[in-house]
Structure 1
Amino acid sequence: MRSRNCLIGLLLPMLWMGAATAADPLPPDQTLQPLFQQVQGAHLFPDQKTFADAVPRRAPSVLLEAWRREQSQPGFSLETFVADTFILPGEAPTYVPPEGQTLRAHIEGLWPVLTRQTSEVDPQGSLLPLPKPYVVPGGRFREVYYWDSYFTLLGLASSNQWQQVRDMVDNFAYQIDTHGHIPNGNRSYYLSRSQPPFFSLMVDLLATHEGDDAYRRYLPQLRAEHAFWMQGADGLAPGTAQARAVKLADGSLLNRYWDARAVPRTESWTDDLATAAQAPGRAPSQVYRDLRAGAESGWDFSSRWLADAGALASIHTTEIIPVDLNSLLFHLEKTVARASGAAGDSAARRDFNRQAEARQRAINALLWDEQQGWYVDRDIRSGSTRPGLTAAALFPLWLDVATRRQSRRTADGVEAHLLRQGGLLTTTVTTGQQWDAPNGWAPLQWVAVDGLQRQGQDRLARQLGTRFLHTVQAVYDRQQKLVEKYVVDGSAEGGGGGEYPLQDGFGWSNGVTLALLDRLCAPKRRCDSAADVAEAE
């Protein structure tokens, strides 16, 4: 175990450099300060994201001047002022499917309902333009999200909507070209962070339809994505970090989640203020950055990031090296190598293959718990692994990081501890956070099923995938909708926990459900429901 002193440089807040361009718009908590803080603090809206997504009817400077002048007048109403000076986002329309529609038909009917076109946006608002149409998750999520979209693309591919797949990959390439990275979502308040790096997997998916042309086309953006995640890595001394890059005491170069800003999240402002107030002895700025880094992870929030599983204020995401993130970056490096080869750049192909091989060795040595027999995250501060089993342990199987022996042992652990009647648990602990038990999430079901099959664990893969499909089908049969997350402990209902109510829609649940129907169906058959899959067994 490394000494605490050698990690001082690692744990100090670092300046963020160059992930956004000088032309990037500022988020509303900056352009509207201090009105923004007053509105969020007054809790005018049940969901703080509502005001973050509101569009000022006048330039922020003009609007702020009016607010300062009017708030001192007798009878001033903040609620009335906001209603008069902002265009508030409307509620998502309720989609009622035709009676008797199959699960597959319902999802395919939802694609146009969830598709948006915002090549032009109001520059006063937080929404960022994208040149081509895209599919949103649904509900409160009125914009495209980075890692969600890969799983949505699986469903679009299943529906043979390859033009939409290409359009969305083009949009992500545009974001890299415009901002230097893919933000969490296309909102100005998401620009300071990304999400799990799935762009290389999107290119992989498109290449199944377009061949090597896809790799050559997006090679510049793949390299830029890698540069974003590795920013600051050059010249790092062992036991230090810069932004998302971490060099461990043994010289291994791995990554963590990070955010450029250390203030409350724009879309959860007062929640984050309250969380930081419950963390005596910690600088509020560090709590805010760890909350933001947790949001970048996509697992917002989970006991994975907490020192005390029962206390969100103990979050320390930036002090953890996640196994799923590093497996995704291994895939990115292998994809850059493949794309470089397709483009005729042998030197770059060799260089990125070397980087991938070094990362694979580090993952298999430092993020593997030999005693437990599964992959884990690593705590930077203590220098030790975090022994709890989570669904993230399946990413090394899915992305071909694991050896066959490690794959078998991980599969045994998953079957013993995470397999439930309704699918795959996210973690084994119940905390009230949405990325913990008893919830199961569609993207993690796909990672598990596809990953287990890739490693020859077909029996467990089919069992897990079939169980999750039955959960989705049971909720659909009762409520005629798909939802963001599910309870998989046998109750077959929508999941709970977290910072907001359960959302309907839902992009990645739709995509994964179609992909599982295809994957688990008998050859040369079409499965439209979970019952069809069961009959095909």
Structure 2
Amino acid sequence: MKPQALRAPLYGLCASLLLAACAGAPRAVPRPAPAGSPPAPRLAATPAPVTPDLLYPALFRAVQEGEVFSDQKHFVDMTVRGEPAQVEARYLAERGRPGFDLKAFLAQHFDEDPPLQVPVLRQDTGLRAHIDALWPVLTRSFKTVPPHSSALALPQPTVVPGGRFREVYYWDSYFTMLGLAESGRGALARQMLDNFAYQIDTYGHVPNGTRSYYLSRSQPPFFAFMVSDAATREGKDVHGRYLPQLQAEYAYWMRGSEGLAPGSASARVVRLADGSVLNRYWDDRDTPRQEAWVHDIRTAAEVRQTRPAGEVYRDLRAAAESGWDFSSRWFDDPQRLSSIHTTQIVPVDLNSLMYHLERTLAAACAEQPKACTTDYAARARQRQAAIERHLWNPKGYYADYDLRTQAPREQVTAAMLFPLFAGLASPAHAQATAQVAQAQLLAQGGLVTTPVRSGQQWDAPNGWAPLQWVAVDGLRRYQQHALAEKIGRRFLTRVQGVFDAEHKLTEKYDVLATGQGAGGGEYPNQDGFGWTNGVTLRLLDLYPPR
């Protein structure tokens, strides 16, 4: 099957220069208030800010292609002073003058948004106390943002990851919220949930992160898990309260599915030859990522004789939507980023999350049956059957599906445990997958992301907190307690070791025998760190030190 990638959703109909603005068009959805309490504060729905590459295109290209800053995210997070068109005109007028200094020009016309530095906290605190002290440091307010900033406004306070990530990220936040609830900050976790509902109300989906340049894509859809966890904690009509946003989230991911012919694809939806409907990662734009402009141009240039640049850019962006940016999981050649084909892959983790979204929608519809016309429970059953049929590798583990070969891919990755996490795996498949994970992914410091050493950050030797939690929680669901405890305790030992040596929690960890600092990817390892803090707290409660 060859997916018809050109069959894009509504956003894809916009001319390329207007695409970012079109993707940010507001989409207001009424949200009922919870019983017995006032509605959550909301901002008026307003058009998303125009992205930096459209605000001052010549200046943008000069800064990014000239690599004025070592981190290309730095410039797109700066805020222009005054009117962008006037600054652009001034740049065009001055750039040819003798002695023109581009960096000095930027200092004159832009305000910095520096990385969120974690201050030096008391060196004698334990791990749990250190994390509790970090929450206020990582909490920010975006109720008002400057004009022409790439930042997106939010009605409630929120927790950001830390370091260069000083805005909210979608799937990061779920694991951060786990820790907030664990440390007695359930009210802040609920405020973050309301922020995500607001984003769906405003933009029709949850963007990758709260920046204008992230609006053309989302991230792994954890909103339903956020809602389910809140319902478990609060025991109220939580599902019903967020039903409009759950429906809008589902509509975003399923847009283009109606009338889709077998053997074709449209944006984030694919219909296989047997009629099964599944999802893939996608991005509504096919240009270099603004926060990694030069990186993407160089990657596409490596294969310019064999692949259109726009195709490569879309695959890079789709990998960013997956959260696994980047991993040999998406490559044809494990050692070459330019062999990326994300949009030709049906991911097992994404479809597990979509199954859970359908199940959550079914639960919400049971509370408000008049608000639903779709049988989400039936859709969940159909998806579960499709996952068991197409995303099961006969060698004994869950795997991604390749649309080109029409078969499961061979890679063993930590994504194989998402069907257990979502509760859709058959008992036999869950046991077999656990055995493969133990044999090929269990390392001295926890679960390694893949066994491949590619130099990318979502490959060996790195382990990531969210994947540890998905594995532990999923394995426990299927009574694989011994393996779950091995993973949890080994990861805690690695986190504790780095904390003892450096007094910080980081974005990712080397979980292999070396125990050295994790690396790879487009930027250094970051300090903070939201999802590591959250998962560490949950694991400490499950597996306290002996």
Q: TM-score, normalised by structure 1?
A: 0.94
Q: Which residue matches 2:198?
A: 174
Which residue of 458, 461, 467 maps to 2:481? 458
Q: Which residue matches 1:225?
A: 249
Matched, 1:317 2:342: yes
Q: Which residue matches 1:507?
A: 530
- Identity across the alignment (%): 54
Partner secondary structure for residue 105 of structure 2: helix
Deviation at 1:13, TM superposition (A): 2.8
Write the distance in 1 (CA, Å) between the matches of 2:485 and 2:428: 20
Report the AA paired with residue 116 of structure 1. R
Deviation at 1:212, TM superposition (A): 3.8
Contact 2:48 2:152 in 1 (8 A): no
Contact 1:212 1:342 in 2 (8 A): no
Deviation at 1:89, TM superposition (A): 1.8
**Residue correspondences, number:** 514
Report the AA paired with residue 509 of structure 1. T
1:349-407 CA deviation, whole Å, 9 max, x = no partner? x700000000000000100012x100000111121211111000000011111010001
Matched, 1:338 2:342: no
Contact 2:118 2:137 in 1 (8 A): no
Q: Relative to structure 1, is the Cα distance of residues 76 and 420 closer, same or farther in structure 2, using a 3 angstrom cutoff?
A: same
Report the AA paired with residue 211 of structure 1. G
Matched, 1:475 2:498: yes
Write the distance in 2 (CA, Å) between the matches of 1:341 and 1:328: 20
Q: Which residue matches 1:144?
A: 168
Write the distance in 2 (CA, Å) between the matches of 1:114 and 1:83: 27
Matched, 1:286 2:311: yes
Contact 2:300 2:309 in 1 (8 A): yes
Matched, 1:258 2:282: yes
Q: Which residue matches 2:240?
A: 216
Q: Which residue matches 1:527?
A: none
Q: Which residue matches 2:81?
A: 57
1:419-446 CA deviation, whole Å, 9 max, x = no partner? 0111001001110000001100000000
Write the distance in 1 (CA, Å) between the matches of 2:531 and 2:6: 34
Contact 1:366 1:378 in 2 (8 A): yes
1:106-153 CA deviation, whole Å, 9 max, x = no partner? 001000000000100012110000000000000000100000000000
1:91-113 CA deviation, whole Å, 9 max, x = no partner? 43342121210100000100000
Which residue of 305, 329, 353 maps to 1:328? 353
Contact 1:11 1:381 in 2 (8 A): no
Which residue of 296, 310, 333 maps to 1:308? 333
Q: Which residue matches 2:34?
A: none
Write the distance in 2 (CA, Å) between the matches of 1:466 and 1:207: 28
Q: Which residue matches 2:31?
A: none
Contact 2:9 2:256 in 1 (8 A): no
Which residue of 80, 102, 107 maps to 2:126? 102
Partner secondary structure for residue 34 of structure 1: helix
Q: Which residue matches 1:438?
A: 461
Write the distance in 2 (CA, Å) between the matches of 1:456 and 1:270: 47
Q: How does 1:34-433 map to 2 (within 5 A)?
A: 34-279=58-303, 280-345=305-370, 348=373, 351-370=375-394, 372-433=395-456
Deviation at 1:185, TM superposition (A): 0.4
Write the distance in 2 (CA, Å) between the matches of 1:378 and 1:392: 12
Report the AA paired with residue 121 of structure 2. P
Deviation at 1:71, TM superposition (A): 1.2
Report the AA paired with residue 12 of structure 1. A
Q: Which residue matches 2:472?
A: 449
Partner secondary structure for residue 89 of structure 1: coil
Deviation at 1:12, TM superposition (A): 3.3
Write the distance in 2 (CA, Å) between the matches of 1:131 and 1:287: 36
Write the distance in 2 (CA, Å) between the matches of 1:16 and 1:338: 28
Deviation at 1:78, TM superposition (A): 1.1
Q: Which residue matches 1:4?
A: none
Q: Relative to structure 1, is the Cα distance of residues 493 and 126 closer, same or farther in structure 2, using a 3 angstrom cutoff?
A: same
Report the AA paired with residue 6 of structure 2. P
Write the distance in 2 (CA, Å) between the matches of 1:442 and 1:178: 30
Deviation at 1:154, TM superposition (A): 0.5
Deviation at 1:345, TM superposition (A): 4.0
Write the distance in 2 (CA, Å) between the matches of 1:98 and 1:25: 40
Partner secondary structure for residue 57 of structure 2: coil
Long gaps (5+) in structure 1: 1-6, 522-531
Deviation at 1:35, TM superposition (A): 1.0
Write the distance in 2 (CA, Å) between the matches of 1:135 and 1:236: 39
Q: TM-score, normalised by structure 2?
A: 0.92
Q: Which residue matches 1:526?
A: none
Contact 2:116 2:165 in 1 (8 A): no
Report the AA paired with residue 459 of structure 1. A
Report the AA paired with residue 88 of structure 1. E
Write the distance in 2 (CA, Å) between the matches of 1:335 and 1:170: 17
1:226-267 CA deviation, whole Å, 9 max, x = no partner? 000000000000011111010011100000000000000010
Write the distance in 1 (CA, Å) between the matches of 2:131 and 2:196: 23
Contact 1:114 1:136 in 2 (8 A): yes
Write the distance in 2 (CA, Å) between the matches of 1:84 and 1:334: 53
Write the distance in 2 (CA, Å) between the matches of 1:212 and 1:355: 25
Write the distance in 2 (CA, Å) between the matches of 1:91 and 1:449: 32
Write the distance in 2 (CA, Å) between the matches of 1:310 and 1:405: 34
Write the distance in 2 (CA, Å) between the matches of 1:405 and 1:418: 19
Write the distance in 1 (CA, Å) between the matches of 2:174 and 2:264: 32
Write the distance in 2 (CA, Å) between the matches of 1:85 and 1:116: 25
Write the distance in 2 (CA, Å) between the matches of 1:492 and 1:331: 35
Report the AA paired with residue 335 of structure 1. T
Matched, 1:25 2:29: no
Contact 2:115 2:166 in 1 (8 A): no
Report the AA paired with residue 469 of structure 2. W
Deviation at 1:208, TM superposition (A): 1.6
Runs of 4+ in 1 over 6 A off after TM superposition: none
Write the distance in 2 (CA, Å) between the matches of 1:208 and 1:108: 23
Contact 2:396 2:433 in 1 (8 A): yes
Partner secondary structure for residue 254 of structure 1: strand
